[in-house]
Structure 1
């Protein structure tokens, strides 16, 4: 069994390399633990349940330039045509599109504006009674809109009277669970909550309240409109290819564009998050490799400096296992100090990220996991050079003594 004290004294005689290595280990531990947590957080964000059958839904824009048609009537004709397709489950005009990064939001309150009361930021969609089925969301309480509750008008003074909201929004406004049938206010407009959807995400997944959403039965047709179509499984691509021709056949004086699947819109919205995640993975890989190479190089350097010392010990009867053990313990001592400093630095870095970027607190498990990974990696990196040192021939090492 080797003593720690002689190894420590040997390190003190060549402390520059050891200090540089433990600093490198500390930096690697601090950065990798935080980066791994951010990656896991982004993976959970990207894979979260949105409440929609994303691969069965697509949207497209319609820009009408013809002046010889009533747009409200034309929209009804278009919706009827789309719903009649055998591959289509349902279709509707929607004022906003979920997961797209663009839409409308306002404060929904328990008291009409300008009175002060509990108020919650909420995204809202103007849509008709086909909205629930078109988006494929799950209505868990109450009922859908009836046809006579859908307000189709160009008169901005007219207001709808009912709404369907997400479960999260209802829980926030009515924490006691008695929200169904209650009245909430969209500005000054009172809306009775007639239905509750289990989960439906707003256009902004990165919003502070991404799953606060309200459907409002109000159609105010304009020259630029957005349609949402939900198809049967595996039929979306076929319908997307034909929808432009079908719409133009229904009425030709318009432009159909921006035909995109809901999953494609989501991918565009979260593209920056995916890029950041890939960059962090590359950063972690580079840091771990550089640290491993640093340990490997330092061990080789120590071996070249101590060739005669190792040969002398081998000539005096030291076993190969003792030589290997010596370098493993030496590396473990350097790594241990580096890991202690790295864990402290990881906590401090996590606090800074939490303060400036609204990232959740770094769990201790990520620090512990990173420390274990770095320690095992350091032992593996030093084992090869240590084994090489153990194989040094005593006669060669002591030839000039």
Structure 2
């Protein structure tokens, strides 16, 4: 404790170097704590369960240019053919491929009037009674669609469906007690009875605001351009994907088959931006920490070169090597703690700005504390080598350097 006052006076005499290092530590603290939080957020998202057996599912898109067949009848023939293939578990038309970044969203309400009703934004899938099995999702409550409940057409509000299956997150978001089974909700002003509740079922936007409040509607809006989802035995998927185009063209050749992709690949493509962002943040964190460590190392070396005579004098007066090392460790600690305190405050402000600007979660205190501990330990490691070199300066060499 007796070293603190002379160390503080020494820092005051070398203000510029100490202030620059303090600001560098503060900046590193603010940026690294927020970057670490964002990296953790990205990692958590990438590890989230989507609800789908991604390695068993693939999708394909069909562009039909022939006009000599009914699209709805052809769709049924396609589904029947695909389901008959060895290794196929199930297949279904779907208007939006899960985890792909493209789909449909609508407001769902408890009452017909939007002014008098609680509502949420819901990403939804149009599928038939094979949809759940194709998705590989189990019912938690209720039942699946019956074939007669599936409506084929293009007029949702006029001759549309009467039932809906929702996710557990949907039920909890719209109903305070989560008791959604048997209740009626309104989608596009059409009343739909909730007949089933499933667990996790990610939307086409897996990192969106409403990524889990999803629903399946028994409606087949058959168009010239449509998607088919196929679930297979995991070991057979690659072979089925390789032959699916020819299988489809053998049934009807006046069309084009494109975008044959596994669901895991679809998600990988969707997540590419997040992965790139995470890698860039990791590189930024590493660079900032290295620059800060080098700054501490360099400043300590500079201070030692300026105080060679002082160090030699202290050694001549009987100062132990450990006292010299402790001197520089305490000096570094004082500057580092000041920088970490300022950086922590800046980190909170920066986190709040990012939360409001980009709709991300608020910075959690443990990331500030963890970053502070890491930077503090790093600073001690950065200063220990030059401090030990200073401790090895002999009194005679210090005297000759005057």
Which stretches of structure 1, 4 residues or more, deviate above 3 A after TM superposition?
113-116, 153-157
Q: Distance in 2 between matches of 1:131 and 1:58?
A: 13
- Show the counterpart of 2:79: 79
Q: Distance in 1 between matches of 2:360 and 2:71?
A: 46
Question: Counterpart of 1:204 in 2: which secondary structure?
Answer: coil
Q: Distance in 1 between matches of 2:165 and 2:295?
A: 60
Question: Counterpart of 1:91 in 2: which secondary structure?
Answer: strand
- Show the counterpart of 1:331: 332
- Show the counterpart of 1:69: 69
- Show the counterpart of 1:91: 91
- Show the counterpart of 1:310: 311
Q: Distance in 1 between matches of 2:334 and 2:258?
A: 64
Q: 1:114 to 1:325 in 2, by over 3 A?
A: closer
- Show the counterpart of 1:360: 361
Q: Distance in 1 between matches of 2:16 and 2:225?
A: 69
Q: 1:79 to 1:309 in 2, by over 3 A?
A: same
- Show the counterpart of 1:45: 45
1:100–1:266 Cα contact (<8 Å) kept: yes
Matched ranges for 1:113-152 at <5 A: 113=113, 116-152=116-152
How far did residue 270 of structure 1 move?
Answer: 2.2
Question: Counterpart of 1:398 in 2: which secondary structure?
Answer: helix
The size of the alignment, in residue pairs, is 401
Matched ranges for 1:242-321 at <5 A: 242-321=243-322
How far did residue 375 of structure 1 move?
Answer: 0.7
How far did residue 218 of structure 1 move?
Answer: 1.4
1:144-198 per-position Cα deviation (integer Å, ceiling 9, x unaligned): 1111111123566311111111111122222234321122111221111111111
Q: Distance in 2 between matches of 1:263 and 1:389?
A: 57
Q: Distance in 1 between matches of 2:191 and 2:346?
A: 53
| In the alignment, structure 1 residue 153 sits paired with structure 2 residue 153 | yes
Q: 1:154 to 1:30 in 2, by over 3 A?
A: closer
How far did residue 232 of structure 1 move?
Answer: 1.0
Consecutive unaligned residues of structure 1, counting only runs of 5 or more, are none
- Show the counterpart of 1:207: 208
1:181–1:194 Cα contact (<8 Å) kept: yes
1:2–1:322 Cα contact (<8 Å) kept: no
How far did residue 307 of structure 1 move?
Answer: 1.2
- Show the counterpart of 1:238: 239
Question: More displaced, 302-311 or 20-29?
Answer: 302-311
TM-score, normalization by structure 2:
0.96
TM-score, normalization by structure 1:
0.96
How far did residue 353 of structure 1 move?
Answer: 1.3
Question: Counterpart of 1:159 in 2: which secondary structure?
Answer: coil
Say what the alpha-carbon RMSD is for the aligned residues. Answer: 1.5
Question: More displaced, 278-287 or 176-185?
Answer: 176-185
Matched ranges for 1:170-181 at <5 A: 170-181=171-182
Question: Counterpart of 2:216 in 1: which secondary structure?
Answer: strand
Q: Distance in 2 between matches of 1:69 and 1:141?
A: 39
Q: Distance in 2 between matches of 1:226 and 1:391?
A: 74
1:2–1:326 Cα contact (<8 Å) kept: no
How far did residue 143 of structure 1 move?
Answer: 0.6
Consecutive unaligned residues of structure 2, counting only runs of 5 or more, are none
1:143–1:195 Cα contact (<8 Å) kept: yes
Q: Distance in 1 between matches of 2:395 and 2:23?
A: 35
Q: Distance in 1 between matches of 2:370 and 2:199?
A: 36
How far did residue 241 of structure 1 move?
Answer: 0.8
2:173–2:213 Cα contact (<8 Å) kept: no
How far did residue 400 of structure 1 move?
Answer: 5.4
1:56–1:232 Cα contact (<8 Å) kept: yes
How far did residue 56 of structure 1 move?
Answer: 1.1
Q: Distance in 2 between matches of 1:89 and 1:194?
A: 24
Q: Distance in 2 between matches of 1:4 and 1:108?
A: 65
- Show the counterpart of 2:106: 106
Q: Distance in 2 between matches of 1:153 and 1:347?
A: 53
Question: Counterpart of 1:140 in 2: which secondary structure?
Answer: strand
